[in-house]
A and B are shown apart, each in its own frame.
Chain A
Amino acid sequence: IAGITQAPTSQILAAGRRMTLRCTQDMRHNAMYWYRQDLGLGLRLIHYSNTAGTTGKGEVPDGYSVSRANTDDFPLTLASAVPSQTSVYFCASSGTSGPTDTQYFGPGTRLTVL
């Protein structure tokens, strides 16, 4: 494979359930990101990781957690899903977190919380 993969492609989840969205990249990029995209709004950063072993909070981190145990994987966990977390979730990566590094996006996970 080349690039970023996300799983699942889509999911319908009952409110209150725990859910982990998976993201894997094979480009050996140091920086990884999780965004959510909602109709009429720009992409909003949930969490990020500048390098393996470190994570940081973005604009909308509440209700989400991440881990970065290695370079390739960056899972996003919803501890107890709520309907407002219904969204399309994109994982992205870049060589570094610097200004000239382009972010490359995975195909997205469409999550519906009922």
Chain B
Amino acid sequence: GQNIDQPTEMTATEGAIVQINCTYQTSGFNGLFWYQQHAGEAPTFLSYNVLDGLEEKGRFSSFLSRSKGYRYLLLEELQMKDSASYLCAVMDSNYQLIWGAGTKLIIKP
């Protein structure tokens, strides 16, 4: 079956940097997505990678290297408002998104 794995929970300190990894086993690959979901709210789009490389959006960056097996979301200069779940999703060969269970990120002062 298809599967997305990411850490269940991570804790970091305000102002620090955190890397959230994602591994996947899917039928095909048409891109890797990252979404942010605050408790009780809807997921919101953060970034998308289909080619190897780095996508930077302010304090958030997503990196993909399929050949080396690196897929991660990097959050810099952490703020308390970054406390949320971060969802990794892969688009498979049928153009359907397969979702991970999410990584709950806890930011401490």
Contact = CB atoms under 8 A, between A and B. Distances in A.
A58 B96 contact: yes
B53 interface: no
Given A42-B4, A42-B87, A42-B102, A103 B41 contact: no
Given A97-B95, A99-B91, A100-B31, A41 B101 contact: yes
B15 interface: no
A95 interface: no
Interface residues of B, number: 22
A90 interface: yes
Main secondary structure of the interface of A (DSSP, over half): loop
A98 B96 contact: no
Contact of A42 (B50, B96, B99): B99
A35 B87 CA distance: 14
Nearest to A41: B101
Interface string A22-41: 00000000000001000011
A74 interface: no
Contacts of A44: 99
A108 B42 contact: yes
Task: Pick the most buried of B30, B31, B43, B48: most chain A CB atoms within 10 A of its CB.
Answer: B43
B54 interface: no
Contacts of A58: 96
A81 to B, nearest CB: 22
5 contacts: A42-B98, A42-B99, A43-B89, A100-B48, A108-B42
Given A90-B43, A99-B50, 6 more contacts: A41-B101, A42-B99, A42-B100, A44-B99, A102-B45, A102-B48
